[in-house]
Chains A and B, each alone.
Chain A
Amino acid sequence: MRKVSDRHRQWLMRELPILESAGILSPEKSGEMRTYYEANTRSGLHWAVVAFAVLGSLLIGSGIILLFAHNWDAFTRPTRAVLSALPLALGAALSAAALLKNRGTAWREAAGLFHALAVGASIALIGQTYHLSGDMPGFLLSWALLVLPLSFLLRSTGVYLLYLALVCGWSGAAQDTYGQAAAFWLLILPATLRLAYLLRTNRDNVETAISLAGLLAALCVGTGIAFERTVPGLWIVAYSALLSGAGLLGFCLYGEREGWNNLPKTFGVIGMTVLAYLFTWTDMWHAIGWEHLRYGQQHRLWGVWLDSGVTLALLAGWALAAAKAFRRDSIETVTLAVFPLLSTLCFVIASLALEADPLNALIFNAFLLCLGIMYIVLGCRSGKLRQLNGGMAIVSLLLVTRFFDTDFDYLTRGLVFIGLGTVFLTVNLVIARRKKQKELAA
């Protein structure tokens, strides 16, 4: 059943007497509305209960890991072997209770998270008892694979986030130990499937939003780690497609909603801005592309195919999201859709031409300036201070950085600054005149 938040109910309760006194609502109808919304109010305490349950199990689970890490060497080896199974047995019992009694979200989350941490504690204790070498990737991978089914069985978001964290941790450890972490893409697949299911069944749920944010963060971190970087600079295209795709996905799923109510869009727009800012530096475009392939222990030859495949998959995801979300009358979707095209174009230019670094940097300086102005204009039009401030922050950051940037000579910077200043003042003058004319006409 659809439930409203307590904040909205309180607002309505204040409005009803006003509507009654204005004769819009009869006292009977007002009473019916009062009864209906009192019965269908979502308690704010629900999420407090879940949050405290999750925090409690997280702390107890971590505490058990630390307690075992103390290393009680007074116990014999067989005793320690039995002890290592205890946290897992307790976790399994809690999970079974959560399923058997069909308990609520708080129970499922707390039991699932405790069970997942208990798996890690048990494996760690065996490693400690038998003095296993520091195979961190092996430890994290076993842990991740053993907790993955729990996120499906208990429908636990906490376990899902822990799995994502373990997969990211594994990719970092694997890249460090083995020199590659290609299996990251396989490990992230089940998490993607679970999210697709959540989006299909209940996209407005808070758990779906948290899972989506978690997966986007994991993809952002994992792409950086698992990329082989055999083709220098290919990450520019991959990240542009990923972040732009996330923003466009936000438009597909949640329309024009903003901030916390549209996490993928917020994530995509902020990510795109940060990337665009990085691309304004000439160093980013130096010695990249197919002409500068890297080989060795850290850069495998097959990385060319893997990185290209991943980039193509991300571009395909972006194209799909763009096809669904693109609207000519929405300047934000146009900007998000154009961003990867521009990055890819600049990457190709940098790959083909040796002296294209300043040109590419210049293109993205212009792009970032347009982005800033776009948000200033949108903010002014809609009266949204967040957009206006965001736009101002982007333009200010760009101008301050370029003022001190020695990559461009003084003459060029001086002329560009004066030119831009003139444009801003002219626009200001034109707008002021129009405003005056409108006021006179009114």
Chain B
Amino acid sequence: MNKSLAILLGALVVAQFAVLASMIHGKERILREGEAFQFKTQPIDPADPFRGRYVRLGFEADHIPLAQGVATDLEYRETLYATITNDEAGFARFSGWSRERPAAGAFLKTRYLGEHSEWDQATTKSTRTGLSIALPFDRYYMDEAKAPRAEQAVRDATRSTNCWATVRILNGKAVVEDVFAQGQSLRTLAARK
């Protein structure tokens, strides 16, 4: 065997493992050290060809509220930092944004996706209410048999109670820790169904 080829293959395999290890390390660190936030959600259940079935998380707080008349010069998909605060009920909301990394407080590194508008029944007009942002925690992967049951459980749960996702955030990066409905983990609910 050509010795240099063996060395190159070794280097490639090391690089491939290093990529996997850095992915695992980064996410484990966020789950270990990150601050936990609860985002109100309404999940639905689609599938990914490579990663399997998941519960897609649609969030109430999927934008940064902005006062009427405030102009921004953000470009589509421009990177920004969204600051996070908890409301009176203990659920997380985005409260502001900046182009520079905030020195203190919880924040999420994300991208601007355009204006967020809401339909006003009274005026029958759509008015801008904030900035739409990309949320890097919109999927919760589940066992293929349990995912549809989880969706059903959530559908039942959202009629009477709140449904939320616990998201760990560290240095602007986020990982979904768990999703809850009726005060219980989605995995527990789906297993019981």
Q: A331 to B136, alpha carbons, bound, how many Å?
A: 58
Interface string of A110-138 (1 = CB under 8 A from B): 00000000011111111111111111000
Distance between B82 CB and nearest chain A CB, rounded to angstroms: 15
- Kindly list chain B residues whose C-beta atoms are within 8 Å of the C-beta of A92: 9, 13, 16
Interface residues of B (CB under 8 A from A): 1-2, 5-6, 8-9, 12-13, 15-17, 19-20, 23-24, 27-28, 31, 48-54, 76-77, 135-144, 146-147, 175-176, 187
Q: A150 to B144, alpha carbons, bound, how many Å?
A: 32
| Known contacts A123-B20, A128-B52, A133 near B138 by CB under 8 Å | yes
Interface string of A282-295 (1 = CB under 8 A from B): 00000000000000
* Contact present for A68 and B52 (CB under 8 Å): yes
Q: A297 to B13, alpha carbons, bound, how many Å?
A: 39
> Which A-chain residue is minimally distant from B134 (CB atoms)?
A133
Interface pairs (29), CB distance under 8 Å: A65-B50, A71-B53, A71-B142, A71-B144, A84-B20, A85-B20, A88-B16, A88-B17, A92-B9, A96-B13, A99-B2, A100-B1, A120-B50, A123-B19, A127-B51, A128-B51, A128-B141, A129-B141, A131-B141, A132-B136, A133-B138, A134-B48, A139-B50, A146-B15, A149-B12, A153-B8, A153-B9, A178-B77, A297-B76
Dominant SS among interface residues on chain B: mixed
- Kindly list chain A residues whose C-beta atoms are within 8 Å of the C-beta of B140: 131
- Kindly list chain B residues whose C-beta atoms are within 8 Å of the C-beta of A133: 135-139
- Kindly list chain B residues whose C-beta atoms are within 8 Å of the C-beta of A153: 5, 8-9, 12
Q: A297 to B176, alpha carbons, bound, how many Å?
A: 30
Considering the complex of A and B, which 4 residue pairs feature the smallest CB-CB distances, nearest first?
Answer: A69-B52, A130-B27, A124-B50, A131-B176
- Kindly list chain A residues whose C-beta atoms are within 8 Å of the C-beta of B54: 128, 131
Q: A153 to B11, alpha carbons, bound, how many Å?
A: 11
Q: For residues 139 through 190 of chain A, which have their beta carbon under 8 Å from a beta carbon of chain B?
A: 139, 142, 146, 149-150, 153, 178-179
Q: A81 to B28, alpha carbons, bound, how many Å?
A: 10
Q: A68 to B143, alpha carbons, bound, how many Å?
A: 10
Q: How many residues of A contact B (CB 8 A)?
A: 45
* Contact present for A70 and B17 (CB under 8 Å): no
Distance between A378 CB and nearest chain B CB, rounded to angstroms: 46
* Contact present for B19 and A142 (CB under 8 Å): yes
Dominant SS among interface residues on chain A: helix
- Kindly list chain B residues whose C-beta atoms are within 8 Å of the C-beta of A131: 54, 137, 139-141, 175-176
Distance between A95 CB and nearest chain B CB, rounded to angstroms: 6
* Contact present for A71 and B52 (CB under 8 Å): yes
Distance between B76 CB and nearest chain A CB, rounded to angstroms: 5
> Which A-chain residue is minimally distant from B15 (CB atoms)?
A146
Q: Tell me whether A28 is interfacial, beta carbon within 8 Å.
A: no
* Contact present for A126 and B139 (CB under 8 Å): no
- Kindly list chain A residues whose C-beta atoms are within 8 Å of the C-beta of B53: 69, 71
| Known contacts A128-B141, A133-B135, A100 near B6 by CB under 8 Å | yes
| Known contacts A124-B50, A179-B76, A88 near B9 by CB under 8 Å | no
